[in-house]
Every structure is written in C-alpha cells, then in structure tokens.
Copies of this chain bind each other. A is one copy, B any other.
Amino acid sequence: MGVREEARRMKAAAPRLGASSLEQRNDALARIAAGLRDAAPIIFEANRLDLAAAEEAGLPATIRKRLRYDEVKMAESQAQLEGLQGLPDPIGRVSLNRELADGLVLTRVSCPIGVIGVIFEARPDALVQVASLCVKSGNCALLKGGKETANTNRALFEVVHRAVEGAGLPAESLALAESHAEVDELLGCDGDVDLLIPRGSNAFVRYIQEHTKIPVMGHSSGVCHVYVDKDADLELACRVVVDAKTQYPAVCNAAETLLVHEGVAAEFLPMVQAALAGRGARLRGTRQVVDLTAGDGVDPAVELMGDDEFGTEYGDYVMSSRVVSGVEEAVAHVNRWGSHHTDCIVTRDDEVAEYFMQMVDSAGVYRNCSTRFADGFRYGFGAEVGISTGKLHARGPVGLEGLETYKYRLVGHGDVVADFAEGRRSFSFRDLEA
C-alpha cells in the first residue's frame, strides 16, 4: 500500500483513536515497554546489521554513533515510556466553559491534531519516542525513518504496532514508510496529513518546509545567545557560558554567540576564553574582542570574525563573540541575528533582566541559567517531538500539549441566531467552572 492510501486510511481512523480512553492508550504504552524488552535480542541483532552496513558504506563514526540502538538506548526508551504513562490525559482538557445565553453553553476542549507525518534521519530511538508521544496524545503517526537503520526501524515498529493493536486501538494508528520515494509522496498528502514533524539536519528540515503545503512543526536552526551584563556575577556567567556552549555542542539549544557588556568585557572575556579553552572550545570575535583577549596568551587565541557571520550555527566547540554597549544593543543583536529559539541574560539587575526577557522575541528567554535547559524532558513534558520556533500554536519544546488542538462544543435547545439578531434574546456571557 502506498503512503497516500495509508494516509487516507489513517485520516478515517483518526477520530476513533482520538476517542479512545486514557486507559487504552496507557495500556498500549505498557505493552510497547514490555514488547521492547521481550524483543531486545531481535532488535539488537537488527541494529548490528545496520551498523555493519554503515561501516561498510564508510559512514563516519560520529554518524554511526547516532544509528546505534543498544542497552543504553533501550533503558532510555523504557524510562520515557514509564514517564509518559504517568502524565495526565492531554485530551479533553477544558480551557473555556461559557454560558452564552440562557441554556446555550460553549466549551473549548482539547483534542488530537489527527494524522502526523514524522520524518527522521538516523536515530532509531526517535521512532520509539515519537510513536509513544503520538499514542499517548491520540494522534495517528505515519513514520518515515532513514534507510541507514531500516532493519532496526522495522524491528522496533513491529513491537510498537503489535502493542497498539493489542491494546485495542485502531490498526491504522501507526504505519511505517520505508522506501525513499515515499518522502515526496508524504509531502503531497495535504488533506490527509495534518502536520509534519521532521527530525534531522537543518538542510533536511528546510527541504521539507519548502516542498509541502502541510504545516511543518520544528525549526531549521538554533542560534542561541548568552548576554553577560555589566551587573553579572562573572563566575556564574562563566559557568553558564561553558555549559551552554560545551555540555553538548551539536544540539540546537547549545549557545553559538556570546555578547558581553563593554563595562565588564576587559575582565570577563579573558576569563571565559580560558574557561572555554579548558573544555576544548574556542572563541571567534570582532576586532574589539581580539584586542581585549590578545595579551592573555590563552591558547587558542581568539580568531577575528566578520560582522556578517553572526548568523552562524557552529554545532561545535566554537563560539562567536561581540562587545555591546548595553542591554538595548544586546536585544537588537539577538532579534536581528538569532533564530528565536532560546536566549539568556546573565545579570543581578532585575530591571535589566526584565527588559531583556520582555523584548527578546524568542521561544525561550532565560536569566542566569544555561540555554541547554530548552528541552521537553527538562521542562517536565516527559519527552518531546521537537522544538518549535514558529509562533502559531506550539512554541519551544513540544510535548503532549503541543500535539493537541481544540474544538469548540456548543450545546443549546433549538437556539437560533435570528432571535439575537432581531432583539428577542441577548447574550449574557457568563464563565462557568471549567
């Protein structure tokens, strides 16, 4: 069956999955966890085949590492599944309950988005994570994994799908697309697929965004900033910058640019340069930064960079840097060069902090802590399908809540608009207890 036909069947089954009970969906999650444990030898063997093929194909070790599904990944999957089972039902939450007029009651209630297409490169553990989030949130998931882990994906999918059917949920709740041509077919499924979630490189996400009419959740870049204000605790600032840059440089919430207030630049820049060097990271900076750090002999020296390079996402042990005249210039820089992901100010001044957090137009605005906290698990969402820098609907880490929309329910007793339009009745607008 082709992807288009699969998507159509899913669309028809979606209301049934959305109407399933929390018990059924949690039962499916428990069955996935048990199934993964039981099938561990089969899954690990499938993964060994994929890893061997990757090595034969000459894929670099850093990429091969991401293809792995081993005991560590299995333990992570188990922990996520357990965490998800404990979370409250995201379906049916009432966010508005209003009597419009005598006996005419309007309710706004959360419900699943419907059919979600998930396209992921490498990382077979993402299959388990995303499928589990979709099951808990009552969304059908059409999964398209990378060919590098085709064997692992198939083994994992079989477990997940059997669990879903075993819990009495529709068989169409989940499907796995395997051939490469199916990506383009999936991108054309507007009308049946409600949302696409791509997980992979920037170029990959951009390709998806530019080739479909289906809404895409996610982001293609993460240029996060740390601004160290003149009233910053400089020791604390150093800790935060080092963590934000080096704790895991390859991910989108790692900081790429350091902005330093001119009043503390001479003291702070050599200090943070040395701290970063101690973790194997180096600074690039404007002429002013180069001059302020030149006399300290820290190895490596700060490399001169151009003003037009501040949009760079290194994803590596490298950081751009610049001296600014104050919080206004810092905010202007962040809003101009950032990717509206997560940006942090380090300061003891409440007023300056409030200005930064109010004026920066990003999904996350932080004070005195690392940008690396921008993550669904660390926000207490259990897990995430990704991080959204769009402003419509979900923003920031997207967990269960971001996978729900809402519908308005209105219940009356033969109420007609003509009565209101012609003055026989009038609206009262009374909010009820939710």
Residues of A within 8 A of B (CB): 12, 14-16, 18-19, 98, 100, 104, 106, 108, 113-114, 194-195, 215, 217, 233, 236, 239-240, 242-244, 247-248, 331-332, 335, 357-370, 372-374, 378-380, 390-396, 405-418, 420-421, 427, 429
A194–B391 contact, CB under 8 A? Answer: yes
Beyond A113-B392, A248-B417, A396-B407, 4 extra complex contacts between A and B, CB < 8 Å? A15-B361, A244-B416, A368-B414, A395-B408
User: Given the complex, which residues of B lie within 8 Å of A415, measured CB to CB?
Assistant: 368-370, 373
A427–B378 contact, CB under 8 A? Answer: yes
User: Given the complex, which residues of B lie within 8 Å of A365, measured CB to CB?
Assistant: 407-410
A408–B363 contact, CB under 8 A? Answer: yes
A408 to B365, CA, bound (A): 6
Chain multiplicity (copies): 2
Q: Secondary structure of the A side of the interface?
A: mixed
B114–A411 contact, CB under 8 A? Answer: no
A408–B392 contact, CB under 8 A? Answer: no
B366–A410 contact, CB under 8 A? Answer: yes
A359–B414 contact, CB under 8 A? Answer: no
User: Given the complex, which residues of B lie within 8 Å of A416, measured CB to CB?
Assistant: 239-240, 242-244, 247, 369-370, 372
Residue among A194, A379, A394 with the highest chain B CB neighbour number at 10 A: A379
Given contacts A19-B359, A114-B361, A359-B19, contact A408 B394 (CB under 8 A): no
A368 to B105, CA, bound (A): 11
A359 to B17, CA, bound (A): 10
Q: How far is the CB of A183 from chain B (nearest CB, A)?
A: 20
A410 to B417, CA, bound (A): 46
Q: How far is the CB of A398 from chain B (nearest CB, A)?
A: 11
Q: How far is the CB of A109 from chain B (nearest CB, A)?
A: 9
B19–A369 contact, CB under 8 A? Answer: no
Q: How far is the CB of A212 from chain B (nearest CB, A)?
A: 12
Q: Which of B247, B357, B406, B417 contacts A417 (CB 8 A)?
A: B247
